[in-house]
């Protein structure tokens, strides 16, 4: 079963972990990122990987993970206020994505950006239909959907798992992000682009730094201190687990701090990213036919060209050569 992670703008309401939407593992959590608690199977996998990493530690920068990325802008009109992002905002967001993961040995290539005007999809309606229409590549391809509204959330993403190409879970894979959290957006305290970094961290398999609270194995990463609850703001010196070693990792991208507070992934998180990548995504293909669904056009299609005017009647004794005209499509 797949589990998603959601970041929300609303604060304080309780979590509801059961899903009634038909989506795999979507939570109604109204505080921060709404990932349901991992299943016993997922925790067993994380524990096994942690034990393996402790016996055979690897430098995440020793090998580079190369990831193809597709951006999908899904808006309700061509106005910025309706989610139609500018080229500059998208460029700045991609730079943030590249810069925040580079220290852990990751490199992203932006393959294409698509634009879709759809009132329902822009408000997170019929997620599966939208993703079936827009998703590109294989299970190792990162698709990020920028939407006008996510029903109060900042974003959600799906953890890696054993997925069969072409199934619903395959199409659900990827991250949906609120358009106003991009660099230059108007989401107060969360508009430097780190919502994408946080969600893509989940796409690579990372849990929250406060997973499990002060007891147990937490996020199963050895160099992230125990954390009893999510951070709000940027409270330097916060220690929600005073009986455990270390202060809360408030600058870690997998906490809930303000964007101005975020600084890093740990080396252990970088190693975990590489471990999950090799286990779930590295060797993924697009199925037996190795076909990729054609990408939607980058922007609304231009109107068809007007039909050519009929030729003038020939002048007696004169011969005219009529050359065919090639029509060119412009991509916004």
Model pLDDT, residue 30: 34
How many Å apart are CA 74 and CA 84, to the nearest integer?
Answer: 7
For the chain, what are the domain ranges? 4-281
Pick the CATH number of 4-281 from 3.40.50.1000, 3.40.390.10, 3.90.1210.10, 3.30.420.40: 3.40.390.10
Model pLDDT, residue 217: 86
Model pLDDT, residue 44: 62
Q: How far is CA 200 from the centre of its chain?
A: 5
How many Å apart are CA 316 and CA 124, to the nearest integer?
Answer: 66
Q: Is 79 among the residues known to form the active site? A: no
Q: Cα angle at 134 between 25 and 129, to 5 degrees?
A: 50
Model pLDDT, residue 323: 30
Model pLDDT, residue 51: 65
Burial class (CB in 10 A: 0-12, 13-18, 19+), 245: exposed
Q: Per residue of the chain (332 residues), what is the pLDDT tens digit?
A: 444 555 544 333 323 222 333 454 333 233 355 455 556 775 667 767 666 666 666 776 778 999 999 999 999 999 999 999 999 999 999 999 999 999 999 999 999 999 999 999 999 999 999 999 999 999 999 999 999 999 889 999 999 999 999 999 999 999 999 999 999 999 999 999 999 999 999 999 999 999 889 988 889 999 999 999 999 999 999 999 999 999 999 999 999 999 999 999 999 999 999 999 999 999 998 763 333 444 444 454 444 444 444 444 444 433 333 333 333 323 33
Catalytic residue, candidates 53, 127, 199, 286:
199
Model pLDDT, residue 302: 44
């Amino acid at each position: 079963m797949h589990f998603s992670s959601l970041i929300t703008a609303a604060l304080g309401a309780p979590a509801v972990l059961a899903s009634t939407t038909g989506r795999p593992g979507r939570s109604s959590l109204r505080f921060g990122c709404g990932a349901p608690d991992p299943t016993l199977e997922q925790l067993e996998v994380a524990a096994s990987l942690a034990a393996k990493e402790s016996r055979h530690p690897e430098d995440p920068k020793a090998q580079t993970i190369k990831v193809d990325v597709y951006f999908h802008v899904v808006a309700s009109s061509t106005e910025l206020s309706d989610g139609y992002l500018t080229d500059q905002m998208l460029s700045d967001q991609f730079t943030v994505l590249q810069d925040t993961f580079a220290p852990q040995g990751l490199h992203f290539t932006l393959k294409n950006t698509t634009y879709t005007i759809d009132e329902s999809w822009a408000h997170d309606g019929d997620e599966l239909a939208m993703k079936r229409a827009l998703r590109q590549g294989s299970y190792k391809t990162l698709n990020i959907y920028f939407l006008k509204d996510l029903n109060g959330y900042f974003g959600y993403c799906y953890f890696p798992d054993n997925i069969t190409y072409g199934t619903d879970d395959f199409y659900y894979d990827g991250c949906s992000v609120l358009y106003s959290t991009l660099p230059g957006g108007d989401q107060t305290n969360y508009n430097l682009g780190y919502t994408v970094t946080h969600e893509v961290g989940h796409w690579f398999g990372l849990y929250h730094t406060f997973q499990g609270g002060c007891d147990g194995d937490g996020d199963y990463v050895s160099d992230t201190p125990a954390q009893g609850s999510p951070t709000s703001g940027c409270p330097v010196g916060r220690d929600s687990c005073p009986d455990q070693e270390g202060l809360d990792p408030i600058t870690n991208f997998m906490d809930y701090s303000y964007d101005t507070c975020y600084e890093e992934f740990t080396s252990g998180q970088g190693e975990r990213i590489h471990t999950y990548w090799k286990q779930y995504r590295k060797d993924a293909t697009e199925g037996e036919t190795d076909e990729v669904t054609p990408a939607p056009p980058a922007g609304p299609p231009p109107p068809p060209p007007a039909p050519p005017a009929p030729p003038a009647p020939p002048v007696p004794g004169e011969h005219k050569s009529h050359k065919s005209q090639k029509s060119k499509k412009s991509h916004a």
